Amino acid sequence: MKIAYLSYPYSDNPKKRTEEVVEIAATILKKHNIFSIVPHLAVDPLRDMVFEIDLLEAEFKIISHCDIFIVGSKTLSEGMKWELAYAQYLNKPVYYYDERDGELYGG
C-alpha cells in the first residue's frame, strides 16, 4: 500500500474543508488502495501552539516520507502551492484527484 500526502485547501473554511478532504481520503483508499495523510488532521491541531513556519516544516517532513503527493482540489491555496513545490523538488510522483469520478491522474 502506498502512502500519499493529500493536499487540500483549508483556511477559508476549516470545518467544511476537513470534512471534504476526509471523504476524498476515504474514496482514494477504497478505489486505489492508497492511504492518505491528511495534514488538516495531522498538523493543524497544533496551530495555536507553534509558529506557522514550524507547521510548514512539519508538513514538509511528512511529504518527504510519503510515496506520492496528491492534489485534491482544482483550486490551489497558497499553502498547497508551497506543498506542491516541495513535493516536486523532492521528485515525488504528483497525482491530481478528479472529484467527478474519484480517479487519480498524473504521476
CATH number, position 58: 3.40.50.450
pLDDT at 50: 58
pLDDT at 46: 60
Number of structural domains, the chain? Answer: 1
Cell of 55: 507547521
> What are the DSSP E strand ranges found in 1-107?
2-7, 34-37, 68-71, 94-97, 104-106
pLDDT at 43: 64
pLDDT at 88: 98
* Ordered DSSP codes for 51-62: -HHHHHHHHHHH
pLDDT at 41: 79
Domain range spanning residue 15? Answer: 2-106
Alpha-carbon span 83 to 66, nearest angstrom: 12
Per residue of the chain (107 residues), give pLDDT as tens: 999 999 999 888 888 998 999 999 999 999 999 999 998 777 666 666 655 557 778 889 999 999 999 999 999 999 899 999 999 999 999 999 999 999 999 97
pLDDT at 20: 94
